[in-house]
Amino acid sequence: MSHIVPHLIGRSPSFLHVLSMIERVARYQVPVLIQGETGTGKEMAARAVHYLSARRSAPFVPVNCGALPEALTESELFGCERGAFTDARERRAGLVSAAEGGTLFLDELDALSSRAQVALLRFLQDHSYRPVGSTRERSGDVRVIAAASPRLRHLLASGAFRDDLAFRLGVLVIEMPALRKRTGDALLLAQHFVERHAREHGLAARALHPSSLAWIDRYDWPGNVRELDNLVQSALLLSDDDELCLQPMLLPSGAPAGGVVAVADVQDMPDSYQLARDRTLDRFERDYLQHIMRRSGGNVTHAAQLAGKERRSLGKLLKKHGVDRSMFAPAERPPLRA
Is 13-177 CATH 3.40.50.300?
Answer: yes
pLDDT: which is higher, 258 or 25:
25
Q: 245-293 pLDDT, tens per residue?
A: 876 543 434 443 333 333 334 445 555 666 666 676 777 778 788 887 8
Q: Which amino acid is present at 80? A: C
User: What per-residue confidence (pLDDT) applies to 89?
Assistant: 57
Rounded average pLDDT over 216-227: 89
User: What per-residue confidence (pLDDT) applies to 277?
Assistant: 64
Q: 181-218 pLDDT, tens per residue?
A: 999 999 999 999 999 999 999 998 889 988 888 889 88
Sign of the CA dihedral with 226 first, then 228, 234, and 236 last: negative
Grade residue 82 by pLDDT with cuts at 50, 70 and 90.
low
pTM to 2 decimals? 0.70
User: What per-residue confidence (pLDDT) applies to 50?
Assistant: 96
Q: Is 81 helix (H, G, I), strand (E, B) or coil?
A: coil
Domain ranges of the chain: 13-177, 182-328
Grade residue 4 by pLDDT with cuts at 50, 70 and 90.
low
Long-range (24+ apart) CB contacts under 8 A made by 36-39 are 36/147, 36/149, 36/150, 36/175, 36/176, 36/177, 36/178, 37/149, 37/150, 37/176, 37/178, 37/224, 38/149, 38/223, 38/224, 38/226, 39/179, 39/223, 39/224, 39/225, 39/226, 39/227
Is 182-328 CATH 1.10.8.60?
Answer: yes
Q: 150-183 pLDDT, tens per residue?
A: 999 999 999 999 999 999 999 999 999 999 999 9
